[in-house]
Amino acid sequence: MPLRPRQKKLIIVLAFMPFLVIYIAGVLWISDFVPTHWAVQLVFYIVAGMAWAVPLRPVMGWMNTDPTESKAES
């Protein structure tokens, strides 16, 4: 039985929280090694602020697929 979008969203929410906590801890740890120059820190925090979304992009696509749609229609 395929998962409905609502079930998929629950799975993603429960998996996203630990990922986010680990990601934030990693960014905080790496930030200790970033040089103190303002431009370097600016680039680091811009990249770190957007990088969390990269692994979630395919997951969001999977989460929003409807199991009742056939692949032949797309």
Give residue-wise pLDDT tens across range 55-72: 888 888 888 777 776 555
The pLDDT, as a whole number, for residue 71 is 59
Dihedral sign (CA 54, 50, 33, 29): negative
Determine the Cα–Cα distance for residues 9 and 15; give it in Å rounded to an integer. Answer: 10
Cβ pair 45, 16 in contact under 8 A: no
Q: Is 34 exposed, middle or buried (0-12, 13-18, 19+ CB in 10 A)?
A: middle
Extract the tokens encoding 65: 């697929």
Q: Can you give the C-alpha Rg of the chain in angstroms?
A: 18
Q: Hey, is 36 helix, strand or coil?
A: coil
Q: pLDDT of 15-54, one tens digit each?
A: 889 999 999 999 999 999 999 999 999 999 999 999 998 8
